[in-house]
Structure formats: structure tokens, C-alpha cells
Structure 1
Amino acid sequence: MTAETYALVGDIGGTNARFALLQEGSVKPLALEVLPCADYANLDEAVVDYLARAGVDSVDEVCFAVASPVTGTQVRMTNNHWRFDIHAVQQQFGWRTFKVINDYTAMALGVLHVTNDKLVHVCGGPGNPARPKLVIGPGTGLGVSGLMPIRNGWVPLITEGGHVDFAPTDETEAAILRILHARFGRVSVERILCGQGLLNLYQAHAELQGLAAPLDTPDKITAAALERQGTLAHQVLCHFCTILGRAAGNAALTLGSLGGVYLCGGILPRFIDFFLGSPFQSGFEDKGRMRPLMEFTPVYLVTDTYTGLLGAAEALGNPEVQ
């Protein structure tokens, strides 16, 4: 591989950093590597290691999607220890172009390149493909973005919509809010709709019902729910899907996303069959007078693991992304 031929893209989350190379004019990721963020002191160490693994000495054009707000030049990752200055890193490596975008901005752009075989229809439709698209999904955090149509393409939205307030709709959820408020103070919807959030929800339900809560990781809760080993775990995972449906529906109403809702992130693909049979759809569509609009809006589950990399690749050549 030669430095003159390839660009570098990355999708850096709270747990893993995904890197790939691009040929000029292509968004297809090559030489994919997934590196645990915990194994590196900071971004620059991971980049050096990746380029060595890929057999490339240097690159000129780079775009990284990061699970963090991007304002100014200082980037502080929300869910891991990495911190870096955009200008300092660009100078360190001598990159001609260096774009840093929010991970869900990249996820939104990546949806434009996800193939149909990587989309699972959840509910709704047919929608209107000329209208905005919503991209939302639980992972290490809750990402929210969107795509606004323009004459010759799409403009991605930069949001922190996962940090809006959790809004309970019944007495049980009001009690859950009180429990979480005692732990965290302000309770955003991300306190529930992410990996750690599933554990928070499980522990809150256990406290309310006076039950033991022996499961101590999101994966254990999911496994117990899928195997029906514990009625509490099954109840909690169903509730998780309901709340996600309501949150996605609220965001869809706000954005007017008749172009479709795209559910991304690393959690949902682990239990697709359960999810499709869950109360997600009822949570999404239960919007009173707006129910017909919600039923008209198509919802898809995105199963492409590298959607964020596709979006970072799109961002490199997209003049709307600075």
C-alpha cells in the first residue's frame, strides 16, 4: 500500500476504535482493524499502531468520527480516557486534511451507503424518501443525528439528542426516575438507553419490586432475557425497547423524519428477533393524534458494523461537512 493512494478514516467510540483505509474516490473501507481504546494512552498511539499494521507510513487525508461533542479544537471523549487537540494531531502527523466529526453525524452519513441487505425493516412505511431521515441508536451511549435533504445531497445534523431529559409516562417510570435521580441528579434518556443504561434500568426495577439484582452487566441481562432465565431480565429488556420506541418517536416528530428512522449502535443487533417482537413499535407509534404519521414512517434496524466508517468516508468528500 502507498501513502499517495489511500486516505484514513476512523470511528472512535467509548470502547473500540475502528480504522480503515480508502482508495481515492471510494467509500469502501479497506484494511479494517478494531482496536480497544483501553489498550492505548491516546489517539496518536492508536493511529501509529494501526498504520504499522496496515503497512502504510503516512496518509494525507483523514476523517475521524468520535463519540464526543466536537466544538473548537479540543476533543474529550465522553466514554473513554482519550483527549486530543485537532490542530496538534494534524501537525504531529503532517496531514493535509483532518476532519473530526461526531460519531452519530458519521452514522447518519454512513446510512446513505448501507446496502439493503444490511437493513432490517422494523415497522411503518412507506414514508417519503425526499424528507429528513433520523438516525438513533443505543451503544456505549445514545447517539442521535439526522439527514436533511438539499438540492444535490444531504446535510448531516450535529446533535446531542441522547442527553434530553428522560420523560416518564406512568407511575412505574416516575418511580424509576426518582431512583435514578438519587444516583445521578439530572436523568437524561441516555441513562437508560445505552449499555450501562440497561443495567441502571434493571437495578431500578429490582429495587422497586424488592427483588435481588444478581446480574451485573448488560450482556448478562440480555442473555437472561433471551433465554427467559429470569422474568425480571425479560421485563426489563422489553421496557428498554419500549422506552427506545418512545424516544425514537419523539425525535422523529421533532425532525419530521418521514424519510425513515434508522436504528444503529452495537446493542440491538445482538437480539434482533427479540427486538422485532418487542413493544418498540407500540412505543414508537403511540403518539395520539400523530399515530397515522408514525405508522407512515418506516423504521429500519441497521446491521452494518461499519456504518460509522462509511460515514467518515462520505464526510471526507462532502463539502457540507467541515
Structure 2
Amino acid sequence: MNTHYVVADVGGTNIRLASIDEKTGELSQIKKYLCAEFPTIADVVKEYFSELDGLVKQLCIAIACPVDDDLIEMTNHTWSFSQQALKKALGLDKLYVINDYTAISLAVPFLADEEKVQIGGGEVKDKKPIGICGPGTGLGVGHLININDKWISLDGEGGHTSFAPTGDTSRQVLNVLAEKMGHVSAERLLSGQGLENIYQALCSIAQQPAKFSVAADITRAGLAQECQQAQLTLEIFCEGLGGFAGNLALNLACEGGVYIAGGIVPRFIDYVKNSSFRGAFESKGRFSAYNAGIATFVVLHPDPGLFGAGVYLRQELKVI
């Protein structure tokens, strides 16, 4: 009978599961389910297991919430569960529950060339620290270090550090948002909601009514050059993201590269390539030459959470 190693990526709306080849890391039998259609996580995992030809003895779950205690309580869904109870209910030998951004981070060193695209210059140094940030619903941030040929994800809340403007217009935007919010974190600008915040602030500065209310419309109008404030929104977003990524590079000497994950940037990569992103990344005063030597990439893998959960599981199996 076949033995399957299974990984899961759990968000507030969907849960995706896949069987992973423990030797190659290849994902297969990928299925997506709506969380709302299942009373518990055990119910949906059992359904997935029933569709596999064989037994499952090891499972790694990447989930969007804290994972430090046995009791897991999702922050953006109603599911909660005991890790020990879930392991018993599923008949597993091993259950690993990791943060979703830990999984995304761990995917990075194992991406194929076609699963990432380099922005600007710089070179990757083998086994050196890596920085990752991911503008999406929020701004995920992480670092990776290699210890004895094993990649370790360093968790943190870097998205909530104070936003550092890199130009006069972004300083004006910061002032508008500070009047409204008080503390302005990087996530307030470098996310889907951040695009909306930047655009609304620019409209306020220009004393013009906002034509758009959602990030997708702002992005489309900016790329089509239909709206000056939408165009400027994309410029400030890319400049701010470059400056933020450059700070990540300096924080831990990320000579292994800095990677941009998340669902936003892959939608307009060509624009990012020609934007001020890389210039802002390198513009670090006395350390500009240092950052110029560090490579930056955008992650294109369609399922980095699933893939990274597989990396975690394979490292525990000691096959990589």
C-alpha cells in the first residue's frame, strides 16, 4: 500500500492540500476546499485522505495564525483545534503545524529558476541569510538562515515596523496617514489595503475626489495610465517596497538574496522591473554599494505555502 506525505496550506477562506514526493518535493493531487463548508479542520483533512490511494502517516499544516501552543485558534476563521487531538483523530505518526509565512519562507531556497524572476543586479551567495517579504492582504516578513545544511525560518512581525519614506511625495503621504492613524507601519502602505491608503492620501493632497476605492481598480488604472494619482500610487508603492526590502537586506546581511512573495507584485512584474524599486533598494547611503551586490527576486511559484510546508516536512524526514 502506498504511503503519502501530505501538506496543507490553511487560510481564512480556503484550505489547500497536496501529496508531496519526499525525495523530489514535487506536489501532486492538489485539492482546494472552502473552509466554511466543513465544521472542523479534521473533517476536511479526512475527506482529502479518503481520496488518496494509500495511507497517510505524516502531515504538515501551514496555517495563518500563531502556532506556539497545542491549541490552535485561527484569527480569520472559526476553526480551532488541539494539535495532539488532531494527530490522534487522523491516525498520524507525525503532525507538524507551522505558521504560513514560515512555509512561504522555506520555499525560497528551493525554487526553480522559472519559479522566480530577478529584478536588477546582484548575485546570490550560497547558504547566506535570505530575506523575504510578501505584500498581500497584509505584509508578511521573514528571514532564513542555514545551520548545518538545514534552513531555519526566523519569525517576526517586520511588517509592523514604522514605514520609512524614501522621497518627498511619500513623506507627504506618510504625514496624511499619520494624522489619520497615528503610527503608520510599513503594512499600511505595502499591501492591498496599502495601495488604497496611498491612493486616497494622494487624492487628499491633490484636493481631488477619489475615482477608485479598491486596490485592483487602482492598479489597473495606474498601469493603463488612466489616472495620474493611480500612476503615482504604483510609483510610491514600488519605491517604498524597494526601500523596505533594502532594509531587510541590511538587517541580517542577506547575501543569499531578498525575495518578494505575496499576491500583488507578480501581477505587474514588468512595471516593477522599470520602477524605482531597485534604486530604492540600493539607495542606502554609505551601504549603497553593499546592497547593490545583493540580488532581489519576485516569487512566481503558484503554491509557495504548500511547497514550503513540504520543505519543512522533508527536512524533518532528513531527505534534504
- Indicate whether the TM-score tops 0.5: yes
Q: Give the superposed CA RMSD.
A: 2.6
Look up the equivalent residue of 2:308 and give its one-letter code. Answer: G
Q: Which runs of 5+ in 2 are unaligned?
A: none
Once the two structures are superposed, the pairs formed by residues 1-322 of structure 1 within 5 Å of their partners are 4-37=2-35, 40=38, 42-52=40-50, 54-55=51-52, 59-169=56-166, 172-181=169-178, 183-319=180-316
Q: Which runs of 5+ in 1 are unaligned?
A: none
Q: Secondary structure at the match of 2:56?
A: coil
> What's the offset of the Cα at 1:99?
1.0
Assess if the C-alpha contact under 8 Å between 2:67 and 2:97 holds in 1. Answer: yes
> What's the offset of the Cα at 1:318?
1.9
Q: What TM-score results when the alignment is normalised by the length of structure 2?
A: 0.89
The CA distance in 1 between the partners of 2:247 and 2:57, in whole Å, is 41
Q: What TM-score results when the alignment is normalised by the length of structure 1?
A: 0.88
Q: Secondary structure at the match of 1:18?
A: strand
> What's the offset of the Cα at 1:249?
0.6
The CA distance in 2 between the partners of 1:271 and 1:128, in whole Å, is 27
The CA distance in 2 between the partners of 1:255 and 1:12, in whole Å, is 29
Look up the equivalent residue of 2:45 and give its one-letter code. Answer: V
> What's the offset of the Cα at 1:78?
4.5
> What's the offset of the Cα at 1:280?
0.6
The CA distance in 1 between the partners of 2:74 and 2:275, in whole Å, is 32
> What's the offset of the Cα at 1:109?
1.4
Alignment CA distance shift 1:274-1:39 (3 Å): farther
Aligned length: 318
> What's the offset of the Cα at 1:45?
4.3
The CA distance in 1 between the partners of 2:122 and 2:171, in whole Å, is 32
Look up the equivalent residue of 1:153 and give its one-letter code. Answer: K
> What's the offset of the Cα at 1:248?
0.7
The CA distance in 2 between the partners of 1:320 and 1:200, in whole Å, is 44
Q: Secondary structure at the match of 2:208?
A: coil
Deviates more, 1:290-299 or 1:183-192: 183-192
Deviates more, 1:307-316 or 1:83-92: 83-92
Look up the equivalent residue of 1:250 and give its one-letter code. Answer: N
Percent of paired sites with the same residue? 37
> What's the offset of the Cα at 1:83?
3.8
1:142-176 Cα deviation digits (max 9, x unpaired):
11122212232322222222222223345544443
Assess if the C-alpha contact under 8 Å between 1:113 and 1:310 holds in 2. Answer: no
Assess if the C-alpha contact under 8 Å between 1:5 and 1:24 holds in 2. Answer: no
The CA distance in 2 between the partners of 1:49 and 1:185, in whole Å, is 47
The CA distance in 1 between the partners of 2:240 and 2:79, in whole Å, is 31
Look up the equivalent residue of 2:113 and give its one-letter code. Answer: N
The CA distance in 1 between the partners of 2:161 and 2:296, in whole Å, is 21
Assess if the C-alpha contact under 8 Å between 1:70 and 1:100 holds in 2. Answer: yes
Deviates more, 1:204-213 or 1:308-317: 204-213
The CA distance in 2 between the partners of 1:168 and 1:318, in whole Å, is 39
Q: Secondary structure at the match of 2:7?
A: strand
Q: Secondary structure at the match of 1:69?
A: coil
Assess if the C-alpha contact under 8 Å between 1:104 and 1:135 holds in 2. Answer: no
Assess if the C-alpha contact under 8 Å between 2:255 and 2:294 holds in 1. Answer: yes
Q: Secondary structure at the match of 1:60?
A: strand
Assess if the C-alpha contact under 8 Å between 1:14 and 1:140 holds in 2. Answer: no
The CA distance in 1 between the partners of 2:203 and 2:18, in whole Å, is 43
1:80-103 Cα deviation digits (max 9, x unpaired):
554443333323323221111122
Alignment CA distance shift 1:151-1:24 (3 Å): closer
Look up the equivalent residue of 2:271 and give its one-letter code. Answer: F
